């Protein structure tokens, strides 16, 4: 970060630090009275430094907050000086100034905290800017109020100043002043000297904390590397005794029954620690107990569904803050991480060519969006477009950011890693837990997001069924692009359920053909236990020749129906590559909509069953959802027979007359060897 006036860095956080301006006030003194530094009336009152955390480790955001705080700081002291000139206090001028400085500091703290909250909101940049301006206006009103002290306040300030006087002990005063003179301090005002002494203590403790962590990372003994640290520690212990402050013993806590022993300042970097966590989870360990037996299926499921997501979360955090030791992650890191998640473009990580740091990506997106909106608004106003048209165009010009559910997933995944750090003894707390959005916050943010929810294909299904794959001759009668969407539409199968079907999954009950959604092969997977079910073949699937395809595969001694599909390299699923192919197909044929995907075919299946007034317990069974009704779950475990289920499924009425049959005419595809079809 380039040098910015009044901004310093302490650890991983930026601070605003500025000395109040020199005020030349005409103060009233009684005969023979002198100023605080021995000068005559009209001299400057005591001056120290005002230090305020900007609550961010981001250089760009620190500059923005410092600019706003600087303006409020100058406004405050100008208002105070004006008030003192108009109504000079009779006594306690130094106390009044100190009271005002404390009040000003509190207002500025509130302003920074509120600004941090506003920046974390999933709101348009224009709305955020307006809210920040309103926040500053509210701070100015508070500052103006505290800059006008009453007579009672002046007397109280004078009394408080006298009570707070740190030099009640003449010996201590003489010792501090003598020390200041010997070490060449430029201040000669005792009160300013003690303020500087207080600031030095704070900075010294912060540096001491960082130094001890540095020694732990480098394997050094702090006392040997810095001999004075031992004497300093003893001195602090004596101070604690005098102030009656209880000092907890880490050794005693670590030996408490059932306690997790925390390794102090462990240097293990986040990347290494998270990789170990993921490896253990992929072995099938839940990491909830000290003694666990690994479950291979659980590990495989975690590897396929969760590992890459958590790796992406860790990569984002490391991109922001570096590969720091997991023990050094603090609340401020988590706060900024959450705030940044809301601003990450939705396309981030989609291209391997983009090597920009995450902070740069976010900043560029903000600038690009602001520039685009400004240009678009100016042009449309010049064209005398209506406010509604401008508003719609601006909404379209906004860069889509990570959606709420994606951001929450990152928060929860990172929290799980820190939970393991506690479990493993590297930490004593999980600062991320306090930053994960509540259910109400998630609901509020989701309600403000653009984009419709899945409601099924509806009338748009006609466009899909009239597209080339259903109109032109097929090179392969078992093309998954032809059959898989039909299985989602007429059988309610999930994508992976449809693609992994084998010849042994097609069975009959009293002559009625059905699909057995099961694990008949070690390579097959099911989402949940309730996914096991029997789904009758809709008359449309029979008419289009699905059973003939089953017999073709059986004659060729091929186990899988869609035998030509390859599994994805990332998750090892058949749906990895097919999902991309289905998306590309819809886009290239002009039938792509974000909410009309493969899963929406399954949604359409459930919707049409509901329209046909199929009982809820039957719909849940056909969808592979848990039946929560006690009567049906516990006292109707046999379920509906296939003949009844087929009558329900056949209530779905969708025109397939224009679809080209892979195996010839409808008359040729109504039967298949070994499976009798009842029409």
Residue 216: CB atoms within 10 Å: 19
Give 386-439 pLDDT, tens digit per residue: 999 999 899 889 999 999 999 999 999 999 999 999 988 888 899 999 999 998
pLDDT of res. 677: 36
**Chain center to CA of 264:** 28
- Residues 395 and 551: their CA atoms lie apart, in Å, by 53
pLDDT of res. 490: 96
- Residues 118 and 125: their CA atoms lie apart, in Å, by 10
Which residues in 188-213 are b (16+ Cβ under 10 Å) and which e? Answer: ebbbbbbbbeeeeeeeeeeebeeebb
Which residues in 361-398 are b (16+ Cβ under 10 Å) and which e? Answer: bbbebeeebeeebeebbeebeeeebeeeebeeebeebe
438 by DSSP, 3-state: which? coil
Q: Are 19 and 47 in contact (CB under 8 A)?
A: yes
Give 427-471 pLDDT, tens digit per residue: 889 999 999 999 899 988 888 887 657 778 999 999 999 999 999
- Residues 620 and 627: their CA atoms lie apart, in Å, by 6
CA distances from 156 to 121, 160, 165, 281 (A): 41, 6, 14, 63
Report the range out of 14-18, 94-98, 635-639 with the highest average pLDDT. 14-18
Q: What's the fold here for domain 458-669?
A: hpI Integrase; Chain A (1.10.443)
- Residues 656 and 462: their CA atoms lie apart, in Å, by 9
Angle among Cα 438, 530, 527 to the nearest 5 degrees reads 65
Which one is predicted more confidently, 568 or 463?
463
pLDDT of res. 415: 95
The answer, yes or no, to whether residue 164 has pLDDT greater than 50, is no
Dmax (CA) of the chain: 120
Give 222-279 pLDDT, tens digit per residue: 666 666 666 676 666 666 665 555 554 444 343 333 444 545 567 899 999 999 999 9
**Chain center to CA of 248:** 34
Which one is predicted more confidently, 632 or 653?
653
The answer, yes or no, to whether residue 189 has pLDDT greater than 90, is no
Q: How confident is the model at residue 171 (pLDDT cuts 50, 70, 90)?
A: low
Q: Quick one: average pLDDT of 74-101?
A: 75
Beta bridge partners of 147: none
Task: Give the contacts of 165 (CB within 8 A, at least 6 positions apart).
Answer: none
Q: Are 400 and 383 in contact (CB under 8 A)?
A: no
- Residues 441 and 124: their CA atoms lie apart, in Å, by 17
pLDDT of res. 266: 79
Residue 154: CB atoms within 10 Å: 19
Q: Quick one: average pLDDT of 569-576?
A: 83
- Residues 158 and 144: their CA atoms lie apart, in Å, by 21
Q: How many helices (H) does the chain have, and how many strands (E)?
A: 27, 6
Task: Give, for 512, the enclosing helix (H) or strand (E).
Answer: strand 512-517
pLDDT of res. 113: 87
Q: Are 28 and 83 in contact (CB under 8 A)?
A: no
Query: At 269, phi and psi to the nearest 5?
Result: -70, 160
Report the range out of 128-132, 217-221, 318-322 with the highest average pLDDT. 318-322
pLDDT of res. 131: 83
pLDDT of res. 30: 34
pLDDT of res. 273: 95
Q: How confident is the model at residue 671 (pLDDT cuts 50, 70, 90)?
A: very low
Task: Give the contacts of 315 (CB within 8 A, at least 6 positions apart).
Answer: none
- Residues 520 and 501: their CA atoms lie apart, in Å, by 9
Q: How confident is the model at residue 297 (pLDDT cuts 50, 70, 90)?
A: confident
Q: Which long-range contacts (CB under 8 A, 24 or more apart) does 392-398 make?
A: 395/450, 397/369, 397/372, 397/373, 398/124, 398/369, 398/373
Which value, to the nearest 10 degrees, does the dihedral of the CA atoms of residues 289, 292, 298, 300 take? Answer: 110
Q: Quick one: average pLDDT of 78-95?
A: 71
- Nearest Cα to 334, choosing from 266, 421, 463, 401? 421
pLDDT of res. 37: 34
Angle among Cα 269, 274, 275 to the nearest 5 degrees reads 105
- Residue 593 is given by DSSP the state B
Q: Quick one: average pLDDT of 286-304?
A: 86
- Residue 459 is given by DSSP the state G
The answer, yes or no, to whether residue 46 has pLDDT greater than 50, is no
Q: How confident is the model at residue 660 (pLDDT cuts 50, 70, 90)?
A: very high
Query: Please, what sign has the CA dihedral across residues 401, 403, 407, 409?
Result: negative
Q: Are 408 and 442 in contact (CB under 8 A)?
A: yes
Q: How far apart are the first and last CA of the chain?
A: 75
pLDDT of res. 83: 83
The answer, yes or no, to whether residue 31 has pLDDT greater than 70, is no
Q: Quick one: average pLDDT of 532-551?
A: 94
18 by DSSP, 3-state: which? strand
Residue with tokens 């007397």: 155
- Residues 387 and 395: their CA atoms lie apart, in Å, by 12
Q: Are 296 and 284 in contact (CB under 8 A)?
A: yes
CA distances from 437 to 30, 117, 346, 402 (A): 60, 12, 19, 15
Q: How confident is the model at residue 167 (pLDDT cuts 50, 70, 90)?
A: very low
pLDDT of res. 587: 93
Domain ranges of the chain: 7-164, 270-448, 458-669
The answer, yes or no, to whether residue 340 has pLDDT greater than 90, is yes
Q: Are 509 and 642 in contact (CB under 8 A)?
A: yes
Q: Quick one: average pLDDT of 554-566?
A: 92
Minimum mean pLDDT among 28-42, 282-296, 324-338, 370-384: which range?
Answer: 28-42
Give me the DSSP letters along 245-277: -----HHHHHTSTTPPPPPTT---BHHHHHHHH
- Residues 672 and 663: their CA atoms lie apart, in Å, by 12
Report the range out of 16-25, 521-530, 602-611 with the highest average pLDDT. 602-611
pLDDT of res. 345: 93
pLDDT of res. 668: 44
Minimum mean pLDDT among 11-15, 34-38, 160-164, 361-365: which range?
Answer: 34-38
pLDDT of res. 524: 73
pLDDT of res. 309: 93
Q: Looking at the whole model, is its pTM more than 0.75?
A: no
Residue 291: CB atoms within 10 Å: 4
Give 99-153 pLDDT, tens digit per residue: 888 888 889 999 998 888 888 776 677 778 888 888 899 899 899 888 876 555 5
- Residues 110 and 116: their CA atoms lie apart, in Å, by 10
Q: Average pLDDT, whole number, for the chain?
A: 80
Length of the chain equals 679
Task: Give the contacts of 57 (CB within 8 A, at least 6 positions apart).
Answer: 12, 13, 14, 321, 332, 333, 336
- Residues 406 and 408: their CA atoms lie apart, in Å, by 5
Question: 38: left (phi > 0), else alpha (psi -120 to 50), else beta?
Answer: left
């Amino acid at each position: 970060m380039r040098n910015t006036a009044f901004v310093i860095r302490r650890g991983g956080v930026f601070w605003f630090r500025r000395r109040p301006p020199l005020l030349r006030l005409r103060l009233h003194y009684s005969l023979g009275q002198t100023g605080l530094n021995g000068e005559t009336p009209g001299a400057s009152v005591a001056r120290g430094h005002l230090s305020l955390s900007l609550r961010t480790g981001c250089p760009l955001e620190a500059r923005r907050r410092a600019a706003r705080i600087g303006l409020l700081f100058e406004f405050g002291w100008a208002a105070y000086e004006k008030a003192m000139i108009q109504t000079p206090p009779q006594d306690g001028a130094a106390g009044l100034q100190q009271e005002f400085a404390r009040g000003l500091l509190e207002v500025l703290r509130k302003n920074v905290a509120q600004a941090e909250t506003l920046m974390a909101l999933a709101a348009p940049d224009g709305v955020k800017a307006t809210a920040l301006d309103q926040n500053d206006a509210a701070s100015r009103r508070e500052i103006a109020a505290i800059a006008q002290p009453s007579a009672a306040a002046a007397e109280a300030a004078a009394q408080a100043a006298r009570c707070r006087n740190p030099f009640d002990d003449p010996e201590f005063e003489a010792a501090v002043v003598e020390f200041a003179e010997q070490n060449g301090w430029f201040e000669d005002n005792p009160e300013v000297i003690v303020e500087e002494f207080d600031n030095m203590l704070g900075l010294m403790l912060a540096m001491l904390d960082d130094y001890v962590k540095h020694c732990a990372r480098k394997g050094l003994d702090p006392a040997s590397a810095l001999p004075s640290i031992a004497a300093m520690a003893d001195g602090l212990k004596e101070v604690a005794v005098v102030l009656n402050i209880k000092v907890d013993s880490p050794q005693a806590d670590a030996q408490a029954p059932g306690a997790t022993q925390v390794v102090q300042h462990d240097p293990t970097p986040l990347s290494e620690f998270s990789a170990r966590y993921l490896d253990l989870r992929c072995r099938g360990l839940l990491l909830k107990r000290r003694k666990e037996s690994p479950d291979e299926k659980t590990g495989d499921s975690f590897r396929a569904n969760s590992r890459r997501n958590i790796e992406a979360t860790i990569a984002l955090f490391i991109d922001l803050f570096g590969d720091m030791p997991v023990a050094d992650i603090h609340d401020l890191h988590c706060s900024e991480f959450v705030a940044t998640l809301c601003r990450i473009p939705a396309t981030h990580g989609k291209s391997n060519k983009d090597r920009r740091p995450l902070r740069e990506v976010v900043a560029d997106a903000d600038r690009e969006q602001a520039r685009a909106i400004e240009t678009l608004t100016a042009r449309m106003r010049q064209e005398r477009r209506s406010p509604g048209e401008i508003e719609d165009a601006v909404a379209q010009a906004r860069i889509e950011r990570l959606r709420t559910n994606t951001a929450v997933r990152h928060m929860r995944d990172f929290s799980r890693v820190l939970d393991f750090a506690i479990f493993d003894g590297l930490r004593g707390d999980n600062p991320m837990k306090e930053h994960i959005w509540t259910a109400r916050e998630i609901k509020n943010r989701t309600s403000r997001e653009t984009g419709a929810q899945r409601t099924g294909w509806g009338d748009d299904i006609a466009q899909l069924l009239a597209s080339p794959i259903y109109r032109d001759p097929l090179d392969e009668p078992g093309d998954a692009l032809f059959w898989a969407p039909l299985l989602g539409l007429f059988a309610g199968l999930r994508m992976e359920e449809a693609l992994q079907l084998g010849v042994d999954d097609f069975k009959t009950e009293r002559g009625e053909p059905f699909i057995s959604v099961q694990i008949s092969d070690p390579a097959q997977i099911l989402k949940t236990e309730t996914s096991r079910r029997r789904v009758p073949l809709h008359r449309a699937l029979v008419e289009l020749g699905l059973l003939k395809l089953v017999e073709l595969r059986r004659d060729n001694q091929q186990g899988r129906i869609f035998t030509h599909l390859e599994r994805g390299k990332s998750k090892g699923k058949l749906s990895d590559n097919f999902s991309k192919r289905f998306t590309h197909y819809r886009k290239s044929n002009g039938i792509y909509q974000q909410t009309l995907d493969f899963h929406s075919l399954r949604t359409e299946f459930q919707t049409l069953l509901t329209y046909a007034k199929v009982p809820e317990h039957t719909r849940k069974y056909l969808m592979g959802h848990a039946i929560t009704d006690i009567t049906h779950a516990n006292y109707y475990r046999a379920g509906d027979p296939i003949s009844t289920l087929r009558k329900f499924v056949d209530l779905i009425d969708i025109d397939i007359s224009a679809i080209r049959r892979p195996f010839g005419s409808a008359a040729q595809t109504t039967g298949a060897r070994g499976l009798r079809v009842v029409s």
